[in-house]
Amino acid sequence: MKELKIKSLKPNKNNPRVIRDEKFEKLKESIIDFPQMMELRPIVLDEKNVVIGGNMRLKACTDLGWEVIPTIVFGLKEWEKGENKVPIEKRKSYKERCEEFVIKDNSGFGEWDWDVLANTYDTKALDYWGVDVWQAEEIDYEPTLSPTTDYSDVTREEIEREAKKLADEMIKEMKNVSVMCPECNAEFDVQV
């Protein structure tokens, strides 16, 4: 692991992940609150200093004014060592392994155990740490049916109308989305 100047790193122009305004602010707050996490999860680079793991964290640290950042290189030597353990028919090139890393590093194979989260952690802390949790106090929704309403009292059209109304209101609440140009890395906001 080495600390490198942020200016020497190249964001991955083919990074398939984006981060929205609110989440980006939460990411920056989490780095400010717990900067040691960057040492525990350094930015992963290829041999040409292109980020293959941690593009959003790099963006956040850049925005926070960091000049150096912990990095680790997935180099050719490490790749060659690992490939010798892979059956010949499944071996891949260094480039293919880097592309695979980009996706696997961002894939969520597991899922949250909501029961453990609800009974062990504070909901506001989880939200602050970046876990998408449903918080009833934030919802401004008044159901139009009483608890004693029978399903036979409601038509499919009424359900669809209410669902569309709710979807339209959710769309109105959406904010601008930050987008990075894959060619020049320029950032700009678009209205969703």
**In this predicted structure, what is the pLDDT of residue 136?**
52
- What is the tally of helices (H) and strands (E) in the chain? 8, 6
| Buried/exposed 42-71: b ≥16 CB within 10 Å, e otherwise | bbbbbeeebbbbbbbbbbbbeeeeeeebbb
The domains of the chain, with CATH numbers, are: 2-107 (3.90.1530.10), 140-192 (no CATH)
**In this predicted structure, what is the pLDDT of residue 143?**
58
Which positions ≥6 away from 93 have C-beta within 8 Å? Answer: none
Distance CA 43, CA 3 (A): 10
**In this predicted structure, what is the pLDDT of residue 58?**
95
Distance CA 190, CA 177 (A): 5
**In this predicted structure, what is the pLDDT of residue 147?**
59
pLDDT, averaged in runs of 10, over the chain (192 residues):
94 85 89 93 92 93 96 78 77 81 76 81 81 61 59 76 79 64 68 57
CA atoms within 13 A on the CB side of 185: 11
């040492």: which residue's tokens? 39
Cβ neighbourhood burial of 40 (10 Å; 0-12, 13-18, 19+) = exposed
